[in-house]
Amino acid sequence: MTQLDPRVAMHLSDAAVSVELETPDMTLNIGPQHPSTHGVLRLVAKVDGERITSLDPVIGYMHRGYEKLAEVRTYAQITALVNRIDWVSGFSNEVPFVAAIEQLLGVEVPERAQYIRLILTEMARISSHLVFMSSYPLELGASTPLMHALREREHVLELLESVTGGRFHPNFNRVGGVKPVAGGGSTMKKQSQDLPAGFFAATREAMDNVLAICDDLDRLVTGNELIQARTVGVGVIPPEKALEYGMSGPNLRASGVKYDLRKVENILPYDGIDFDIPIGENGDCFDRYVVRNEEIRQACRIVQQAIDKIPSGPLQAKVPRILKVPKGETYVRAENPKGEMGYHVISEGGRIPYRVKIRSASFSNLSILPWILEGELVPDLVAILGSLDFVLGDVDR
């Protein structure tokens, strides 16, 4: 029997009737320059129509080598670097790092300095979450919440600036306490910088305003049917998947896992402060939004309580002028706005660390992208990407 040409055989057989016209998937390159990738994240997506069949995140465009840079700098210099990891909440990056050094040195930080750190960390959390509150609706197409949320954030940043001198990169923490007063002459240098006059009253007012803007956002965004249509049931992350991928922070809590480092192991005096951990039910984009909105309210509560409780006293422990950290290693982590931020510091003795490993929240939070975006639509890609609230500086370091 002669061999039929396979194409002819196909044509003759019944199977030919059901052969579908196959169209190749289109490769859509999203980023590194794209309005909704928050900087320079690149996503190489294979799309079938508008449905994503596979996705390949490419990171590293923002790599600045901070871990390597830390190996050739003194400990005091490194705080200026770690500020810039997650630049939306610069202050909260510093705290776990100096806490790690304090642990290695065995220094006890005065309580007032602890409380100042706590207040400013929570204010950094508020400002970071307000950025999310403003940018997330923008990604869904609503640009009005942006202006209102950022207006209140500006007041919070002004307060941060009044204490630290920097809006984004405070560089305010010192090993053993907080920054000494700037330009105060030799007698003033002996004392540490205290909070500026009128800070507490201004902070209370700012917190009231932030709470008010949270209510405004509830009316404008949370209750908006179209926002809910875009976010409810979109990008569902089940709790076990969230844990598998090492997610942390509001993203993890939105999936229903009640885990907050502020309650578990904290380097700041959260023990005496009463606050709730908001958790989501479904782990969808809407829950991630609502959890953050609620966290702003809780952060306001924390700040208000901390203002009531803050003791007087010194702001700086006695530490030598030239820091020589004894041999040893430690890992200190803290609950940052984006999630768990940790520093693994190894010291061989001397003025510079041997190695600093930075565990950043956004990097781990983003690792779920290929799993969660497979099979989603391109518009949902934007909704999911925005809801994870990452900062590229925090991903690449």
Partner 1 sequence: MNFWLELLIKVGLVLAVMLPTALVIIFAELKISAHMQSRIGPYFAGGRFGWAQPLADGLKFMQKEDLVPADADARVYKLAPYVVLMGTLALFVVLPFGPDAVARDLDLGIFYLLAVSSLSTLGVLMAGWSSANKYSLIGGLRAAAQLIAYELPLVLAVIGVAIMAGSLSLNDIVTAQSNWQWFDTLPTWVNIIPPYMILQAVGLVIFLTASLAELSRIPFDMPIAESELTMGYLTEYSGLRFTMFFLGEYAGLVAMAAVAATLFLGGYWLPGVSADVLNFIGPIVLLTKIMLIAFVFIWMRWTFPRLREDQLQSIAWKWLIPAGLANIVVTGFFKVVF
With binding defined as CB under 8 A, does residue 233 bind partner 1?
no
Nearer to partner 1 (CB atom), residue 111 or residue 154 = 154
Distance separating alpha carbons of residues 249 and 257, to the nearest angstrom: 10
Residues 138, 181, 277, 319: which binds partner 1 (CB under 8 A)? 138
With binding defined as CB under 8 A, does residue 360 bind partner 1?
no
> Beta partners for 232?
none
With binding defined as CB under 8 A, does residue 103 bind partner 1?
no
Nearer to partner 1 (CB atom), residue 6 or residue 35 = 35
The three-state secondary structure class of 108 is coil
Specify whether the CB–CB gap between 66 and 104 falls below 8 A.
no
Specify whether the CB–CB gap between 92 and 391 falls below 8 A.
no
With binding defined as CB under 8 A, does residue 232 bind partner 1?
no
With binding defined as CB under 8 A, does residue 236 bind partner 1?
no
Residue 203's Cβ-side half-sphere holds a number of Cα atoms within 13 Å equal to 28
With binding defined as CB under 8 A, does residue 226 bind partner 1?
yes
Distance separating alpha carbons of residues 279 and 85, to the nearest angstrom: 26
State whether the Cα torsion 154-285-339-28 is positive or negative: negative
The two structure tokens encoding residue 283? 């782990």
Q: Is 19 exposed, middle or buried (0-12, 13-18, 19+ CB in 10 A)?
A: exposed
With binding defined as CB under 8 A, does residue 378 bind partner 1?
yes
Nearer to partner 1 (CB atom), residue 28 or residue 243 = 28
Count of residues that interact with partner 1, criterion CB under 8 A: 31
Residue 379 C-beta: closest distance to partner 1, Å: 5
Strands 26-30 and 51-58 come out as unpaired
With binding defined as CB under 8 A, does residue 146 bind partner 1?
yes
Specify whether the CB–CB gap between 374 and 241 falls below 8 A.
no
With binding defined as CB under 8 A, does residue 140 bind partner 1?
yes
The edge-to-edge listing of strands for the beta sheet with 355-359 is 328-336, 339-347, 355-359
147-186: contacts with partner 1 (CB under 8 A): 147-148, 151
Specify whether the CB–CB gap between 139 and 386 falls below 8 A.
yes
Nearer to partner 1 (CB atom), residue 171 or residue 224 = 224
With binding defined as CB under 8 A, does residue 19 bind partner 1?
no
Q: What type of residue is 285?
A: C
With binding defined as CB under 8 A, does residue 315 bind partner 1?
no
Q: Which range binds partner 1 by CB under 8 A, 3-11, 12-20, 87-95, 145-153?
A: 145-153
Residue 108's Cβ-side half-sphere holds a number of Cα atoms within 13 Å equal to 3
Nearer to partner 1 (CB atom), residue 94 or residue 152 = 152
Q: Is it true that the peptide bond before 32 is cis, omega within 30 degrees of 0?
A: yes
Q: Which range binds partner 1 by CB under 8 A, 196-204, 247-255, 349-357, 380-388?
A: 380-388
Residues 69, 76, 142, 211: which binds partner 1 (CB under 8 A)? 142
Residues 119, 123, 227, 273: which binds partner 1 (CB under 8 A)? 227
20-39: contacts with partner 1 (CB under 8 A): 26, 28-29, 34-36
With binding defined as CB under 8 A, does residue 10 bind partner 1?
no
Distance separating alpha carbons of residues 50 and 345, to the nearest angstrom: 45
Q: Give CA separation, 240 vs 233, 243, 283, 349, in Å.
A: 17, 5, 11, 41
* Site pattern 50..89 for partner 1 (x: CB under 8 A): x---------------------------------------
Q: What type of residue is 183?
A: G
With binding defined as CB under 8 A, does residue 134 bind partner 1?
no
Nearer to partner 1 (CB atom), residue 69 or residue 236 = 236
Site for partner 1, rule CB under 8 A: 26, 28-29, 34-36, 50, 137-144, 146-148, 151, 220, 224, 226-227, 229-230, 377-382
